[in-house]
Amino acid sequence: MIRPVQLKDASALADLYNYYVINTTITFEETPINKEEMGNRIQNHSPEHHWMVVDLDNKIIGFAFANSWKNRSAYRFTKEISVYIAPDHQRNGWGKQLYTKLLMILQKEGIHTVLAGITIPNESSIRFHESMGFEKVAHFKETGFKLKKWLDVGYWEKKLDN
């Protein structure tokens, strides 16, 4: 079931997210977060920063959320979105279902442009985003340093029909 995040999900979300923090360059966060920090992130998100989770038999196996792109008012119709799926549940359509739900909500709220930042290389994420209608619009070289290597970041965008 896909549903809005609840504070009780904080521990499960932190555990899922920390896999990516510790083992991958998908997120540029380098220090694992605890359930209190994840709880703060959940509590402090504003209503327009939707967090959705996949709750499969009372186990959180994925989540997606939207953030403001920049804090200047002219950017108010643009959001950046992210998705994280538990490694043992990937390639089962959960990311697509989360993004589909999240994009529908954002479109109803008048969001015009959605952006996704992807660490390069990450062919799986690139294929996923492009299958959802995103197209590459930017490539920044060596903008992050994690796991003892310099990393590029690309941005993909999708226009929502409003």
CATH number of the domain bearing residue 143: 3.40.630.30
3-class secondary structure, 89 = helix
pLDDT at 145: 97
Query: What pLDDT shows up at residue 149?
Result: 96
Other CB atoms within a 10 A radius of the CB of residue 43 amount to 9
Instruction: End-to-end CA distance of the chain: give it in Å, rounded.
Output: 27
Paired residues of 118 in beta bridges: 154
The enclosing H or E element of 137 equals strand 135-146
- Could you list the pLDDT tens digit for every one of the 162 residues in the chain? 999 999 899 999 999 999 999 999 999 999 999 999 999 988 877 565 689 999 999 999 999 999 888 989 999 999 999 999 999 998 889 999 999 999 999 999 999 999 999 999 999 999 999 999 999 999 999 999 999 999 999 999 999 986
What is the model's pLDDT at position 9? 94
Question: From residue 14, how far is each of 22, 35, 38, 93, 158 by CA, in Å?
Answer: 12, 6, 6, 22, 28
CB-based contacts of 111, cutoff 8 Å, min separation 6: 66, 77, 78, 79, 160, 162
- The rounded distance, in Å, linking the Cα atoms of 64 and 81 is 7
Nearest to 134 by CA among 154, 106, 119: 154
What are residue 72's phi and psi, to 5 degrees?
-85, 145
Residue 123's domain comprises 2-159
Which helix or strand (DSSP H or E) is residue 11 part of? helix 10-23
Number of domains in the chain: 1
Instruction: Compute the distance between CA of residue 88 and CA of residue 85 in angstroms, rounded to an integer.
Output: 8
